[in-house]
Chain A
Amino acid sequence: MMRELKSGFFFFALSLLVIWESLRVELGTSREPGSGFLPFCVGLVLCALSVVLVYRGWGVRKSQKPHSRRVILALASLFVYSLVLDTLGFVMATFFLVGILFHLGQPRQWWLLIGMSAVVTFLAYLVFGILLHVYFPRGFLGI
C-alpha cells in the first residue's frame, strides 16, 4: 500500500480511538467542559484530515523501499537494552549495546570492538555516573 494511504488509515484509526476515549471520560457541557471536551474536538479534526489524506493517497502507485536490516537490528538492540538495563546494570548493558551499534555502523575486528565498547562505556560512566552523579542501575552483578 502507498505512503499517504497507509498513514491516512493509521491516523483515521487513531482519531476514532481518541473520540472513543473522549466520550468515555465525558465531554461535559459548554458551561463546564469536561476532560474529553478538547480531545473530542481535536479527534474530529484529525478524523477529517486523515480522510483527506486517504483521498489524496488513493490511486497513487509509488512503492516504498523496504526497511534496512541495519535499522531493524539497531531498533531491536535499543529495545532489548531498555528491557535489560535494570537486570544487567548500566555498565554491562551499555557495553553490549555500544558493541552492537559499532558493529552495525562498520564491521570491525572483535578485539577492536571490545576495546572501543569498553572505553566508551567507561567514559560514559565516568562522566555521568561519577562526575554528574546520575544513579545508574547496578544489575544483578552489582556493577
Chain B
Amino acid sequence: MGTLVGILPGLGPSATISLLLPMIFNTPAVSSIIMLAGICYGAQYGGSTTSILLNIPGEASSVITCLDGHQMAKQGRAGPALGIAAFGSFIAGTMGIVGLMLFAPTLAKFALRFGPPEFFSLALMSLTLVTYVSRGSLIQSLIMACVGLIMSMVGMDPITSRPRFTFGLSSLLDGFELVYVAMGFFGLSEVLSSLGQALKQEIIDSKIKNLLPTRQDWKDSAKPIARGTVLGFFMGILPGFGQAITTFVSYAIEKKFSKHPEQFGTGRIEGVAGPEAANNAASSGTFIPLLSLGIPVNPSTAILMGALLILGLQPGPLLITNRPDLFWGVVASMYIGNVMLVMLNLPLIGLWVQMLKVPYSLLYVLIVLLCQIGAYSVNNDVNDVLLINIFGLAGYLMKRYEFEGAPLILGLVLGPMLESSLRRALMMSDGSPMIFITRPLSASFLIVAVFFLISPLFTRGRIGKRAVEAGD
C-alpha cells in the first residue's frame, strides 16, 4: 500500500495513515504501528515511478527525481533509472535502519541542540542550493526561489495566525499545498508544452535499452548512494525539514561533486541515485526523534504519534525502555519491508517501462486525468482541481519564458521553516542578528551558505554558459 500511495499523486502517506487510523482500534498495538510505519517508508519507493516515467512527482520528495529521471526515460533508460531508484532506496533504507537501531537515543540528543538560529541558518543554506539545482539563468532561478518563498507565506501567519496575502479569499487561508504546485508545475505543464509542439508518438525518442542498471551505472551511482544515505539519515532527524529538502540538498551535492555538472538535468544517473537514497534514509531518520523522544518531525510521524496515544502508549524517552517490543517490532518491520519493497518493485520495472510505449496522444490524457483526480483526492474539494489547473497554466507559461520549477519548489518547501525560525531567533536575541553568528552550528551553516552562493559565479561562467549554448 505504501508503494501505491507513493505512485498516486495527491494521496500522500500522511493522508493514507489518517484514513487507516480507525483500523488500529481492533488491531494489536505493535501490528498497528508496523502497518502505519510501512506506509511511511513504502511511499518513498512509489513516488519515484511517476517522476521518472511521466514527470509527475508522486510525492513532494520525488520532485527532484523528475529532473534527471524523466530525461533518462526519454533516452530509453527508464529501466536503469527505476532500477537504481529501487536499489538505492533499498541500500539507503537498510543503512538507515541500522543507524536507527544503533544510534537512536544519541542522535536524538544531537537534534535537540538545534534551536531557531540553527534551523534558520540551515534553511538558508538549503535555499542557496538553488544555484545548483537549476541549469539556466541564475537570476531567473533566484526569482523563482523568491516566488516560492512568497507562496509559502500565503495564508495564516504561523506565529500570530493573522491572514496575509489572501486578499479576502477564504480558499487561500490554508496556503498552497505543495502537491498541487508540484503536479501543476511539473506534470501538467509538461503535457501542455508537449501539446504546443507536434505531438510525439511516444515519450521516448529512442529504443528502450536495458531494464536494469549496467555495471557503469552502478559505478556512477555508488558514491551518490553512499552520500545520499548519510545526508538523508542525519537530515531526517531534524524537525520540520522533511524528505523533500534532503533530496534537493543531495542533488546539489552530487552536482558539486560530479565531473560533469553541466550534464545534470539531461539524464545523469547520479541525479536519481543520490536523491532517492537520501529520501529513503531520511524516512528512517524521521523515526528516531519519534521513538526516542516522542517528537514528531513531519506530518506522517505526527499522525503516528497520534496513533501511539490512541493505543495508550506514551511517546517519549521511556518508550524504548518500557515497550522494547514496539521499538524492535518497528525496526524488524523496516528490514522486512525494505526487502519486500525491492522484491516487489524490481519485477514491475519491465511493466512500467512498457507504459512509455503507449502512444503519447493517449498517454497524455491519462496524465492530465491523474493530476485532476490527485488534486481532488487531497481534500475532496473541487476548488483544488481549479487550483492545480491554475498552477498548470503558470507552469506552462514559466516553461515558455524559460523559468525552472525546481527553485520555486525549494522556496515553497523551505519558506515556513525559514520564516518561523528567523522570527523566533530574533525574539530570543532581543532583535540582535549576531545570534546567527555567535552560535557555532549556525555560523557553520552560514559559511557554507555563502560558499554555495558565490562558488557558481566562478564556475558558471564556464559550465552554465556551455550548457545554455549546447541547448541553443
A interface list, Cβ under 8 A from B = 3, 6-7, 11, 14, 18, 21-22, 25, 29-39, 42-43, 45-46, 49-50, 52-53, 56, 64, 67-68, 70-71, 74-75, 78-79, 81-83, 85-86, 94, 97-98, 101-102, 104-106, 116, 120, 124, 128, 132-137
Q: Name the interface residues of B126-178: CB closer than 8 Å to any CB of A.
A: 139-140, 142-143, 146-147, 149-150, 153, 157, 159-160, 162, 164-165
Contact of B142 with A33 in the complex, beta carbons under 8 Å: no
A49, B139: Cβ atoms closer than 8 Å: yes
Tell me the complex Cα distance, A33–B343, Å: 52
Residue of A nearest to B5 (CB): A132
Chain A interface: which of B65-73, B92-100, B191-199, B233-241? B191-199
**B380 / chain A contacts, CB cutoff of 8 Å:** 134-135
Within 8 Å by CB of B373, from A3, A18, A64, A128, lies A128
Complex contact B199–A85 (CB within 8 A) = no
**Listed A/B pairs (13) with beta-carbon separation below 8 Å:** A31-B427, A33-B422, A35-B159, A36-B164, A38-B418, A39-B165, A42-B153, A45-B142, A46-B143, A49-B146, A64-B400, A81-B385, A128-B373
B351-375 contacts to A, CB under 8 A, are: 359-362, 364-366, 368-369, 372-373
Q: Do A46 and B364 touch (CB < 8 A)?
A: no
- CB distance B393 to A83 under 8 Å? no
Which residues of A have CB within 8 Å of B150? 14, 18, 39, 42-43, 46
Q: A34-B160, A35-B157, A134-B373 are in contact. Are A75 and B361 (CB under 8 A)?
A: no
7 additional A-B pairs beyond A21-B165, A38-B153, beta carbons within 8 Å, are A6-B401, A35-B164, A46-B147, A49-B143, A53-B143, A68-B197, A71-B195
Q: State which of B139, B369, B389, B433 has its C-beta within 8 Å of the C-beta of A94.
A: B369
**B interface residue count range (under 10 / 10 to 19 / 20 to 34 / 35 or more):** 35 or more
Asked if B348 is at the interface (CB within 8 A of a chain A CB), the reply is no
Q: Which of B142, B164, B188, B360 neighbours the largest number of chain A CB atoms within 10 Å of its CB?
A: B164
Please state if A82 and B389 are interface contacts (CB–CB under 8 Å). yes
Contacting residue for B195 out of A6, A30, A68, CB 8 A:
A68
**CB pair A45 B146 closer than 8 Å:** yes
Q: In the bound complex, do residue B146 and residue A42 qualify as a contact, i.e. CB atoms below 8 Å apart? A: yes
Partner of B192, one of A74, A98, A116: A74
Q: Nearest residue in A to B384 (C-beta to C-beta)?
A: A82
Residues of B within 8 A of A83 (CB): 386
CA distance A83 to B389 in the complex (A): 11
10 shortest A-B CB distances, which residue pairs? A105-B361, A30-B431, A31-B431, A82-B386, A68-B196, A106-B361, A35-B157, A82-B385, A46-B146, A78-B389
Q: Chain A: which residue is nearest B141 at the CB level?
A: A49
Query: Smallest CB–CB gap between B120 and chain A, Å?
Result: 10
Could you tell me if B361 and A35 are in contact, using CB atoms closer than 8 angstroms? Answer: no
Question: Given the complex of chains A and B, what is the CA–CA distance between A106 and B363 in angstroms?
Answer: 12
Question: Do B369 and A102 touch across chains, with their CB atoms under 8 A apart?
Answer: no
Partner of A124, one of B373, B389, B401, B402: B373
Cβ-defined contact, B422 with A38, below 8 A: yes
Q: Are B372 and A81 in contact (CB under 8 A)?
A: yes
Residues of B within 8 A of A116 (CB): 362
| Known A30-B426, A49-B146; contact A70-B196, beta-carbon cutoff 8 A | yes
Residue contact B365 to A14, C-beta cutoff 8 Å: no
Question: Of the candidates A38, A120, A137, which one forms a contact with B366 in the assembled complex, judged by CB atoms under 8 Å apart?
Answer: A120
How far is it, in angstroms, between the C-alpha of A56 and the C-alpha of B137 when the chains are bound?
Answer: 11
| B377 interfacial by beta-carbon distance below 8 Å | yes
Q: Contact check: which of A22, A67, A136 meets B196 at CB < 8 Å? A: A67
Cβ-based interface call for B423 (8 A): yes
Measured between beta carbons, the chain B residues less than 8 angstroms from A50 are 143
- Contact bitstring B170-214, A, C-beta under 8 A = 1, else 0: 000000000000000000100010011101000000000000000
B365 touches A105 (CB 8 A): yes
A75-B164 CB under 8 A given contacts A46-B147, A102-B362: no
A94 CB to nearest B CB, Å:
7
Chain B, residue nearest A44 (CB): B146
A65, B76: Cα distance in complex, Å: 30
* Contact call A7/B401, Cβ cutoff below 8 A: yes
Check B427–A32 contact: CB distance below 8 A.
yes
Residues of B within 8 A of A56 (CB): 139
